[in-house]
Amino acid sequence: MTWFLEHADVVGRLAVQHAYLAGVPLLIGLVLALPLGWLAQRGGPWRPILLTGTGLLYTIPSLALFVLIPLVLGTRILDPVNVLVAMTIYTIALLVRSVADGLASVPAETAAAATAMGYGGWRRLVTVELPLAIPVIAAGLRVAAVSNVSIVSVASLIGVAQLGSLLTDGYQRFYGEVLLVGIAACVVLALLFDVVIVGVTRLLTPWARAGRGARPGSGPGSHAGSGAGSGGGPRAGGAA
């Protein structure tokens, strides 16, 4: 505890760098995984290619990827860009399947009701299917966030400064307190990421906070379903 109090500024600076290296790829990976997951969810030959291919990316050892990327991009070995690119690859590997599963979880009758209301493919995807898929996608994002925080620490072995530097430093000097501070800081950072993701998910899914006793179809697709039922048209359940 004494070491932490004396070096709180160092730990704070490393934590900010760690959050940057883990958080930015999380956002970039999500943006890239959305169209890939949508394409995989549509089925056809792309599904096995995308799901298997992106899944295999996660099997690449992180240290090997950190060393390989500078050779591909022509960057310096200590350039943080190498870590950002590697973590983006790992994020995509985890999120493509989550996006595909999330979109597949949307009830067929809800999508059919939206189509009956005149929603085109793009409008239905953005206003109905993606909002309903948010809980599944968010679950995958939480896993990816914890994974990123963990894997980023490995970059300390190639000299990129972040919380993992405390782990390597404590190990090399046989200084247990530094090791404990590094581990605790990584755990706290992962928990903060998780809390933020859960909070944003709650904000984006207000129907889920309305209570579990709410009637089915009270989410984003309920407007399409009720509209399809009015005016003599088929209800959501009969449109499937």
Q: Over the stretch 144-168, which tens digit does the pLDDT of each residue have?
A: 999 999 999 999 998 899 999 999 9
Instruction: Quote the pTM value.
Output: 0.83
DSSP string, 17-74: HHHHHHHHHHHHHHHHHHHHHHHHHT-TTHHHHHHHHHHHHTTS-HHHHHHHHHHHH-
Query: Do residues 147 and 197 lie in contact, with contact meaning Cβ atoms separated by under 8 Å?
Result: no
Q: Over the stretch 23-68, which tens digit does the pLDDT of each residue have?
A: 999 999 999 999 999 999 988 888 899 999 999 999 999 999 999 9
Determine the 3-state secondary structure of 80 from DSSP: helix
pLDDT in the model for residue 120: 80
pLDDT in the model for residue 14: 96
Query: Do residues 187 and 145 lie in contact, with contact meaning Cβ atoms separated by under 8 Å?
Result: no
Under the banding of pLDDT at 50, 70 and 90, the label for residue 221 is low
Under the banding of pLDDT at 50, 70 and 90, the label for residue 220 is low
* DSSP character at residue 129: I
CA distances from 153 to 67, 82, 196, 228 (A): 14, 13, 21, 52
pLDDT in the model for residue 174: 82
Under the banding of pLDDT at 50, 70 and 90, the label for residue 240 is very low
In order of their start, the domains of the chain are 2-219 (1.10.3720.10)
Q: Over the stretch 67-91, which tens digit does the pLDDT of each residue have?
A: 999 999 999 988 999 999 999 999 9
Report which of residues 232 and 5 the model is more confident about: 5
Q: How far apart are CA 192 and CA 200, in angstroms?
A: 12
Look at 55-59, 73-77, 125-129, 130-134 and tell me which has the smallest mean pLDDT: 125-129
DSSP string, 25-39: HHHHHHHHHHHHHHH
